[in-house]
């Protein structure tokens, strides 16, 4: 008997307690990832929206009530709107709420529906890849030129524009995530859920 056989002969299967412990450990590791998958974009959008509203409201009160203003307030409020819009694009891809002509697709044969979903993923990944490439160049240019936020001398513009490659990277991830689900549905011949998929909740 060789060493491998001896090792196999002396191997003991994990006890039920050990198996439960491993499953519990995996569950603890998976919970934060599941939370991020469900709530990452909505949390960022809500924070950006709240910051934008607070800044605009503060600017109005300061301007009309005290004849003053926050020098960088208007610029940062615009940046928060940009954050909300770009991250919202990723969220819409995840939820499949983008324009997809779903009424037409529902009348197509099953294989044709799957082909359209593959085309969706290909187009999203291609467009997002181009956007990531060029937006990274823009962020690097802002960083190298030490571009400050208008009205500020200590806030860099690239801190806010970094959301562009990040959000388009999220678009790529969400498109591939949807494609993976679609492939599994196609393999099991399950109906496709094009808009507002409960799997995304």
Residues 6+ apart with CB under 8 A from 189: 110
Neighbours of 131 (CB within 10 A): 19
Q: Residue 22: in which H helix or E strand, if any?
A: helix 16-66
pLDDT at 201: 45
Please write the tens of the pLDDT for every residue from 105-146: 778 898 998 999 999 999 999 999 999 999 999 999 999 999
Residue reference for tokens 């593959």:
118
**How far apart are the C-alpha atoms of 157 and 152, rounded to whole Å?**
10
Q: Residue 25 pLDDT more than 60?
A: no
Please write the tens of the pLDDT for every residue from 31-87: 888 888 889 999 999 999 999 999 999 999 999 998 889 999 999 999 999 999 999
Task: Say what the pTM is.
Answer: 0.78
Residues 6+ apart with CB under 8 A from 8: none
Task: Domain ranges for the chain, please list them.
Answer: 17-200
């Amino acid at each position: 008997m060789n060493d491998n056989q001896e090792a196999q002969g002396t191997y003991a299967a994990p006890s039920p307690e050990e198996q439960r412990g491993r499953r519990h450990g995996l569950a603890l590791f998976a919970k934060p990832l599941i939370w991020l998958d469900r709530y990452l974009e909505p949390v960022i959008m809500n924070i950006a929206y709240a910051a934008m509203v607070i800044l605009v409201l503060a600017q109005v009160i300061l301007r009309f009530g005290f004849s003053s203003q926050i020098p960088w307030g208007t610029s940062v409020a615009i940046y928060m709107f940009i954050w909300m819009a770009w991250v919202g694009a990723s969220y819409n891809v995840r939820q499949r709420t983008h324009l997809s002509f779903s009424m037409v697709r529902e009348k197509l044969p099953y294989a044709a529906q799957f082909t359209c979903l593959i085309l969706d993923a290909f187009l999203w990944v291609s467009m997002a890849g181009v956007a990531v490439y060029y937006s990274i160049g823009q962020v690097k240019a802002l960083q190298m030129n030490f571009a400050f936020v208008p009205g500020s001398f200590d806030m860099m513009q690239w801190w806010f524009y970094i959301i562009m490659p990040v959000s388009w990277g999220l678009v790529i991830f969400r498109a591939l995530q949807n494609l993976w689900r679609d492939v599994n549905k196609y393999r099991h011949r399950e109906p496709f859920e094009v808009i507002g998929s409960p799997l995304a909740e």
